[in-house]
Each structure stands twice: as C-alpha cells, then as structure tokens.
C-alpha cells in the first residue's frame, strides 16, 4: 500500500531575528540542529509561524538553504512558497526545487476572496510548473479563503505531485470528511493538522500527523504522542495529549503565535531571542510570566 511522503511531526520553523530585525542565521542553525536531534520528521522554513509575510523572497530562500545544509538529509525540508500572486508562488517554488527541497507548502492567496474555480487555478498552475511535491495549506482564518473538500479531491485526482493537505481549521467534521474522502481517492495523500491539540484527533481519524508550531520548543511531546499512538500505547498517547492541550494555552495569552513560540524559547534558555518584526511585538514581562507558569506546570522549566 502506498504511504504518504510526509507524516509524523513536522515543525513550521520560526524565523529568529536580531535586535536590528535582521535574520539571526546562527539562531536558524541552532534551532534546526535542535529539532533534528529531537527526531522530528520534517521542517517547514519560510512558514506562517516563521512570519513569511514579513520576509523578502530572497530571505526565505536563504533560510531554506541554511536549513537544508544543517539537516543534511536527516529530515525532510518542506519550505513555504505562499504569496498573493500565483506567479510569485511558482517563482519561489522553482527556487526551492533548485535548492533540493523535499517538497513545498502553499496557502491560498490572502487578500481577494476567491471562488472555487480561482483556488483551483492557483494550485493547479503551481503543481503544473514544479515537479516536487506540494502540500496545499488550508488556513482560512488568515487567508479568508476556505479550501473546499471537493477541491482537494479534484486536485488529488489530477496532480500526482500534490501530496497532501495541512489543515489549520478548527473543525473536527471538516477534518473527518477530508480524511475519509481523500484517503478513498489516494492512500498516499497526507492529511496533516496545523493545530497542536488536534494531533491525536487527526491520528484517530486516520490522518498522518501534523505541522505544529509548539513543536519548535516542545517536539518531545508531539513525537511522544505520535510514537505512542503507533505503538498502540493509547494510555501514554492520551497523557501526551493532555500535556499538549495545556501547552497550547500559551496562544490564549500571547498577541501572536510567532511571539508566543519565541517567548517560550527564550524562557527555556535557548539562544533564540523574543524578537518579531513589526507590526508584531514581543510579549511583555507580564505575558511571559503567564507562559512561564504553563511551562513550569508541565515540568519544562523550574
């Protein structure tokens, strides 16, 4: 039976910055090596969590180049290629393909509200112009464009290099129907949640894993859950799920998910600074204290 190319725990990599808002290249190297040593199944540079909308294309390409160099083939590298114009997505996709990426990830455009035929045109044009695998990323809260399940089905049937879906959409019924329909069409089509606390539900429904932001600093929880589930140690998987459910409360306090992740990395004593590019802002001390309390409760910090 054909297996999905992408599965397990994939990390949407944050982009470390210096005080002058330039990219912290050493921070990228450190975080990539940290994640590889922890055993993640993939890294997603130039990601939504990585503030791709605040980066120039050449910066996204440079970040991906560094991640590929540090990974040395030990884990898959699947950079983002999202942009508001299909032609830019194709241009970025070709650059990532030339670098040797294992695949790419693209959201819908995020300004105009698009009809299904326009979303189809966007993703089909990308898939037809690149040869590497494409993950179609549904994140309607930020793009304003929900990808219909029937569109995923049409794309999966017509393009063999459309390899999966990342779903950052808080709907169990959508996720259930997507898994049932797409797995009936292609067993090798990966269904990946973008929500940390939906990982167990995704696996229970027949999905393949997740691309989850908290795995930047707590990959051991996500990997522990994924491995326990596949070892049929469900009690252990449930315990990891409880911890992840507690962990995601950091988003409730933070002003953005990139700043939440960077605050946690700072509190855990990593070399990553809690700096985001404007108009985002780093979390102030009172919010850091709330995040620290969650990390302390989970035994991750004293």
Task: Pick the closest to residue 16 from 256, 251, 265 (CA basis).
Answer: 265
CA distances to 41, 112, 191, 199 from 37, in Å? 11, 41, 25, 21
Q: How far, in whole angstroms, is CA 110 from its chain's centroid?
A: 17
Residue found under tokens 């019924």? 173
Q: Where would I find the H helices in the chain?
A: 25-38, 57-71, 86-99, 116-129, 140-143, 149-158, 172-185, 199-204, 219-230, 234-247, 250-253, 257-267, 285-297
Active site residues: 48, 137, 166
Contact 182, 189 (CB under 8 A): yes
CA distances to 69, 106, 108, 164 from 39, in Å? 17, 24, 30, 21
DSSP state of 272: -
DSSP state of 54: G
Burial zone of 141 (CB within 10 Å; 0-12 exposed, 13-18 middle, 19+ buried): exposed
List, in order, residues 6 or more apart from 289 with CB less than 8 Å away. Answer: none
C-alpha to C-alpha distance for 189 and 229, rounded to whole angstroms: 20
């Amino acid at each position: 039976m054909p297996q999905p190319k992408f599965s397990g725990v994939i990390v949407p990599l944050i982009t470390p910055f210096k005080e002058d808002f330039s990219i912290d290249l050493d921070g990228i190297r450190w975080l990539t090596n940290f994640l590889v040593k922890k055993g993640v199944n993939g890294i997603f540079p130039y990601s939504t969590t990585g503030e791709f909308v605040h980066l120039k294309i050449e910066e996204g390409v440079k970040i991906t180049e560094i991640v590929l160099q540090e990974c040395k083939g030990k884990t898959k590298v699947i950079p983002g290629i999202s942009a508001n114009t299909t032609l830019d997505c194709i241009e970025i996709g070709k650059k990532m393909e030339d670098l040797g990426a294992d695949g790419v990830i693209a959201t819908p455009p995020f300004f105009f509200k698009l009809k299904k035929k326009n979303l189809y045109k966007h993703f089909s044009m990308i898939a037809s112009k690149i040869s590497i695998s494409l993950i179609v990323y549904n994140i309607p809260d930020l793009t304003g464009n929900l990808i219909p399940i029937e569109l995923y089905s049409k794309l999966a049937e017509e393009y063999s290099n459309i390899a999966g879906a990342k779903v950052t959409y808080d709907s169990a019924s959508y996720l259930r129907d997507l898994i049932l329909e797409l797995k009936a069409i292609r067993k090798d089509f990966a269904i990946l949640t973008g929500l940390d606390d939906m990982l167990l539900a995704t696996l229970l429904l027949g999905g393949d894993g997740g691309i989850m932001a908290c795995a930047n600093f707590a990959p051991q929880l996500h990997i522990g859950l994924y491995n326990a589930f596949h070892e049929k140690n469900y009690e252990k998987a449930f315990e990891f799920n409880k911890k992840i459910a507690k962990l995601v409360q950091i988003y409730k306090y933070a002003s953005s998910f990139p700043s939440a992740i960077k605050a946690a990395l700072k509190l855990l004593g990593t070399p990553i600074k809690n700096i985001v590019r404007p108009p985002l802002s780093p979390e102030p001390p009172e919010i850091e204290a709330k995040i620290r309390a969650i990390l302390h409760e989970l035994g991750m910090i004293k």
